[in-house]
Structure 1
């Protein structure tokens, strides 16, 4: 697989030189300074591509061209925003970038309650604690109707937890949940979050899904025309937050999306961590079933904690069999090669590494420390090198 690396631009403390030293050859990035729904100018795309190329690397995947909330709700200037999205697809295609990872998560992006969860090895990981989230939703945000979205036992635990939280604990939790995510185009406070929640109040799961399919019906033909593959990222976590609908959580959701607009340009990002946080998802089976429609892979692992909580695990630990997932993806690559496809290689990136060694205490984007991801990439590279030696019938 094509070994790639998420890079947040020139302000990223993990530099392009670091990426080369890690052994990745492809970059996954976006025009973060323009990622507010406007059309990306070709000259800006080419400028970013040239910067990456000057450092001996290739811009392999766009992650992401933002899907504006007005597009998800089909309100306000959504028509203009969809036209802008089409123009951005054309611009990245003209620059020679042919994979676009995007998501359709309402309001939130990936969400964690803890960005520095202590691990036994002395480093830290990302974690989602359902009890802490419930405490915020019920007793800090005080969202109307929240009591209907959490089990009674969880609410009782959350109330007890909330009573023990200091002001700094509460500030940390709020910052992690609504004020910070890398590469988000804007952040929220309680007032603005509640205003956005009101916008979604009447939008059901089925309504949001219809809006996604309507969006795809417009943009996928453009992507197919210019040779771009759209790869949707699953919801993270794969369950409702703040009462919002979630529509990319499992096998059934992925199947519905692929069949809504049948096209070689309409596919998925197999994020083993996001799908893996849902115990109903069999990641090996999904990697095999959706193989022809997987255009990008985020390889990371999570350990589920039994009550819906989970934390980011080492790449080869956790609840997903990363060896067998990788075997399934590489079997698909061989199938594409045998079919004569020039685009047979599936780009992958190590995702959400632990903060370890010299990255502990450093200013880094949580989940995107250098050494933790380097370790994960090295482990995944070892798996891939081993699989490369196997005969086709051994891949299963």
Structure 2
């Protein structure tokens, strides 16, 4: 596979220039924890065989007579019971499978572990457990992580140094506290602005809205790769690639890093205003608390109608796929109400919805026409 440019250096050596035999030896020192804990483990192998397989390639790491004890030690190291060694991957939860993946990466006693979105497929509570496990292993074994993630809270918690990339280029680098508190690149500013905050008092905070689309990284634009979406862009940004500028402990690839107010010149949007515009477009601006609940849930039913028609082809004798097109597309109270009748009130998928279903059946919108009434009848 050809590469566009750049180097990957490990102990001062560009590993992209290594021959096949050299790469084989390098894998002894660099291991990977993959994103999907379900597909990264062979379902036909027991945990014992999964953890022992790396030693078949590098037999000098652990002698055959000590492998049984080493498997038990690795499982204990990642918080699993050594008695689970004879179980198969499908008998574990997602978090337990990811722990097995971490144990497999530790089997060769590496120096560097690449965590490629290692917690993105897990629940939030399990994410915290795995992240804390990685931190404890780092302190105990002296590991170095290359942690790739889109969850900025996880990045800030686990990282000693943060690199922000855009279209394959590093646009900002620095200590996590500095990058998160005082970013210098406009893309980093917009990225941090999009992070949701669990604070009701700041629900109407202003956020930065980037205009335009992400371009093809194989054919990046001339000059700065971010200039088509940057409101601070000038002529030099469109023609000349930006240099790396050092501002304190942060390095930013921007012509004007540290020279202008990145936040002030970006397009800013009030969350409350944007939400009202969205609700107006979707027809959610009706009054009445019960009716708002019906319309909101009905809109969800309309959006997922195609999936519902595949998963539940027939609900109480009414075929979802046969609903007329105008009932799916018309953003009226009547069509929303009918979607709820067909999606919730006429089904018994969950007893918790029975009370809501009776309340919905008792509601008849004023704008319900005869054409919509016909849609509610069975085929």
TM-score band by shorter chain is under 0.3
Q: TM-score, normalised by structure 1?
A: 0.23
**Which has the higher Rg, Structure 1 or Structure 2?**
2
The answer to which structure, 1 or 2, has the higher relative contact order (CA under 8 A, 6+ apart) is 1
Q: Tell me the TM-score normalised to structure 2 length.
A: 0.23
